[in-house]
Structures are given as structure tokens and as C-alpha cells.
Amino acid sequence: MDATYDYLVWLFPAAAQWPSWLVTLVITALPALACFTFMSLGPLVYVYAERKVAGFMQDRLGPMRVGPYGLLQTVADTVKLLFKEAIFPRKVDRKLFVLAPILVNVGAFMPFVVIPWGARLQPADLNVGVFYVSAIAALSTVGIIMAGWASNNKYALFGAMRSAAQIVSYEIPSLLIILVPVMLVGSLSLLDITQAQAGGLQNWLLFRYFPIMPVAFVCFFVTGLAETNRAPFDIPEAESELVAGFHTEYSGFFFAMFFMAEYTEMFVFSAVAAVLFLGGYLAPHPALQQVGPVAMGWFWLWFKAWSLMFVMMWLRWTLPRSRVDQLMYIAWKVLLPIALVLVVLVGGLVLIPATANGFPWDRYVAWPLTLLLVGFLTLVMIRALRWDKGRARELALPAGGAAPARQVAR
């Protein structure tokens, strides 16, 4: 904090005489405000990006009408939503109805406190950082249930009940998998986790103990999808079944808040995943960390988080929606066992001192594991090829024959 204080004094020499409460107020309030505005403008970009990605994946162009290449489309949408009348249906529980979107937004924005954008660019370095993020993310569930109940609409009630079950049951595997990087680094604070991965790409947690950590990363990604109600798990607001799930009755500004909360939560989750597995604000090569006087830490974190969000969007426009009980099956019968196995494995590996008295233990333990897993993967690949041949017979296509170059008939 002292650096910001010196900066403040350099800016306003008179600040030295200010009372202490005013100084702390200015030092903490200003960065928080800056962070909040930067984060709340984020969804504008992400919504536009999602519609463009969806458009190109479906052989169309996405928004092109408002502004050059549709750049002002989301601005227009936001302005419309802000000025549209927020309708309150008659028998709606007004207080809860208004409180719900606020609570959901609180749950979405508060994790930004612990996300490190740079060596010292972090609002607060809590030593319980990772658990703080999970706890706050669970807060938005309360908001969703409140929205479902308050809007007095059967579909909203269904949506809320589903989302409660979904988020709660995905918290458990997600927390277990968070244990894996925490065990490797030995600290809960996000800053320490990032700094433990310093020194370029090969030190990132994703590539340590090669076969285990990628699996952990994929599982964590899947739990993240479920927690932000995205892609194959967007059951709470399943358009085709529940009209619009918990935010059916919302319109105007409140709908905008739900929308913003969803995309912010998506960004928060991708940022946390980037910090835990992809080395937060660390550049792939130390040389790229500093460009002239400017530290590029924030760019790398944003870039990693954004590529994870692109994968989420990519999944959303590819996969159908799974049913509620299948979602629970995946949570309890698939992710939980894998998470437990991972925790046990990494726990064991961490106990083995890497180079205790000159004997490279982890290399001798890691290798057989890798061979075992690679063997399993090739076995499955052969089976997959047989699957491919079988299916090719259905299509009367030469097995593995790629479809000829696409020529659009028009």
C-alpha cells in the first residue's frame, strides 16, 4: 500500500496532512472503483464477442447493423435495457424481486478482490484467496433462488430449484480440484500460487506431473461451466423448456444486471482457472513480462482468461443441453471420483521430496505413471478408430476419408 501512498503524496503534496481514514478511503476506494468500472464494461465486449463467435460458427455474420461490423450493438442493447420499463408482475414479492439481481451481481463482482493482475496490482492479497472465491461464488446461488421465488412464476421456480441443485453439487468437486494446485504450491493465496509458477511456460502448474494436471484442469473447467450455468449445463435458463428460467419475469434494467452478472461470473471463473493452472499474470516467457517501462502482467491474465472464455463460447454453440439428473450424474459419479483420485495422487507425489538426497524421485514415479496413462490412451485411441470405421460404414464414406473441400452452392 505504501507505493500508492507515495504516489498519492506525489500527486497531491497536501495529502500528507490528511487524516488517516481519508487517506485509506482514497487509496482503497479509487482502485476498487477503477477495477469495478473496467470489469463492468467487460460484459459489453464479451456479449458482442459471443454473438460474433456464434454467428461465424453458424455460417452467418452476427450483429452487423449498429456501428461498423456491429461494434456498437451491445452498447445499443445496454442503452435499450437501461431505458426500457422494468415491469413488475402483479403478485410479485417486490422487495425480493429487486434484491435478487443485486445479490447475484455481488456474488459475481466480489471475487475480483483477490485476482492478481500484476506483482502489486491486486486489490487485496488475502491468504485464504481461493476459498474466498468459492464462498462468494456460492452467494449468487442465493440471489438466483430469490429471483426464482420472487417472480411468482412456475417456470422461474423450476429454474431456481434446478440452479440451486446444480451449483451446490458442483461446488464439491470444484473445491476438491482446487486442492490440487494448492497442495502443489502450499499456499492458498492467489498471489503465491502465481509466483510459484514463475519462470516461463514449463513451470506452469498445467504441465507439472504431466498426465495428472491436465486432467485436473479439464475437470475444473467442467465444474466452472456448471457453476456459471454455461454450455451443456445451462439448465436454469433453458430456453426451450423453462422459457427463460429464473429471469423470465425480469425486464429492463434488472434483466441487464442478470446478464452482466452471468458474463462477469464467466470472466471470474476463467481468471481463477488461469491463475490456478496457467500462471496468472506470468508471461509464457519471462522476457515478455515487461515491455519497456510498462508491466504487461494484466494483459497476460486477460489473454488467458479470454481464451478460456472463447472455449466456453465454443462449447455453448456445439453441445446440446443435458438433463438435470444427467448433470447430477456427472457431478457425483464422474467428477467427484476423478477429483478424489487426483487429490490422492498429487498428495502422494507432493510427499515424495523431488530431489531428496540426490535421487530424482518424482522422475522415477512420474515416468511409470505417464507410461501407464499413455498406454491407456493408445488403447482407447484404437477403440475410437474402430468406432470411426464402424460409423464410416453407416455413411458409406471411406473410413477416415475427409469430406471434400466445402464449396457453398450460392
Partner 1 sequence: MSAASPTGFVSDWDQDGLDTDEMVVNMGPQHPATHGVLRVELRTDGEVVRAARPHIGYLHRCFEKHCENVDYPGVMPYADRMDYCAAMGNTLGFALTVEKLCGIEVSPYVQTVRVIMAELQRIASHTIAVGTYTMDIGAFTPFLHLIRDREKILDLFEWTCGARLLYNYNWVGGVSHDLPDGFIRATRDFLREFETVTFPELLDLIIHNRIFVRRLSHVGVCSPELAISYDLTGPNLRGSGIARDLRKDFPYSGYESYDFDVCVGTGQYGPKGSCFERNWVRVVEMRESAKILHQALDRLEKTEKADVHEKVPKRVKPPKGEIYFRSEAPRGQLGYYLVSDGNINPYRVKVKSPCFTAMSVFHHLAKGMLIADVIALIGSLDIVLGEIDR
Partner 2 sequence: MKRWLQEVWAGFYTVLVGMRITWRHLFTNSVTLQYPSVRWTLPPKSRMRLFMKYEDCIGCGQCVRACPVNCISLKTEKRPADAPPIWAASGQPIKLHVSVFDIDMSLCCYCNLCTYPCPTFCIYMTPEYEFATGDLSQHLYRFAKKDAQFLMEDPKKKAAPAEATPETPVAPQNPPASPAGA
Among 32, 64, 76, 196, binds partner 2 (CB under 8 A): 64
Among 57, 99, 106, 126, binds partner 2 (CB under 8 A): 57
Point out which residues pair with 291 in neighbouring strands: 294
Among 90, 91, 94, 333, binds partner 2 (CB under 8 A): 333
Q: 3-class SS at 291? A: strand
Could you tell me which residues come within 8 angstroms of residue 67 by beta carbon, excluding any fewer than 6 positions away?
Answer: 73, 75
Q: Pick from partner 2, partner 1, none: which does 94 bind, CB < 5 to 8 A by kind? A: none
Stretch that binds partner 2, among 20-28, 35-43, 50-58, 355-363 (CB under 8 A): 50-58
Q: 3-class SS at 305? A: helix
Residue 44 binding partner 2, by CB under 8 A = no
Taking the least distance from each CB to partner 2, the nearer of 247 and 316 is 316
Residue 318 binding partner 2, by CB under 8 A = yes
Q: Could you give the string, one character per residue 65-84, with x where binding to partner 2 holds by CB under 8 A and - elsewhere?
A: x-------------------
Among 56, 210, 359, 367, binds partner 2 (CB under 8 A): 56
CB 213 within 8 A of CB 207: yes
Please report the DSSP string for 85-151 in residue order: -----TT--HHHHHHHHHHHHHHHHGGGGT--SSSS--S---TTHHHHHHHHHHHHHHHHHHHHHHT
List residues near partner 1 by CB under 8 A. Answer: 54, 57-60, 91, 152, 154-155, 158, 161-162, 232, 234-235, 238-243, 317-326, 391, 394-395, 397, 403-404, 406-407, 409-410
Q: Which of residues 98-157 bind partner 2 (CB under 8 A)?
A: none
**CB 387 → partner 2: shortest distance, Å?**
8
CB 34 within 8 A of CB 41: no
Read off the C-alpha cell for 12.
497531491
Q: Pick from partner 1, partner 2, none: which does 393 bind, CB < 5 to 8 A by kind? A: none
Residue 230: is it exposed, middle or buried by C-beta count within 10 angstroms (0-12/13-18/19+)?
buried
- Residue 246 CA to residue 392 CA, distance in Å, equals 43
Taking the least distance from each CB to partner 1, the nearer of 35 and 235 is 235
- Residue 184 CA to residue 204 CA, distance in Å, equals 11
Q: Pick from partner 2, partner 1, none: which does 315 bind, CB < 5 to 8 A by kind? A: partner 2
341, 108, 323, 99: which is closest to 219 by C-alpha? 341
Residue 53 binding partner 2, by CB under 8 A = yes
Q: 3-class SS at 294? A: strand
Q: 3-class SS at 275? A: helix
Stretch that binds partner 2, among 32-40, 90-98, 163-171, 314-322 (CB under 8 A): 314-322
Residue 384 binding partner 2, by CB under 8 A = yes
- Residue 77 CA to residue 326 CA, distance in Å, equals 35
**CB 62 → partner 1: shortest distance, Å?**
12
CB 58 within 8 A of CB 48: no
Stretch that binds partner 2, among 200-208, 242-250, 351-359, 402-410 (CB under 8 A): 402-410
Contacts with partner 2 by CB under 8 A lie at 53, 55-61, 64-65, 314-315, 317-319, 333-334, 380, 384, 387, 406, 408, 410
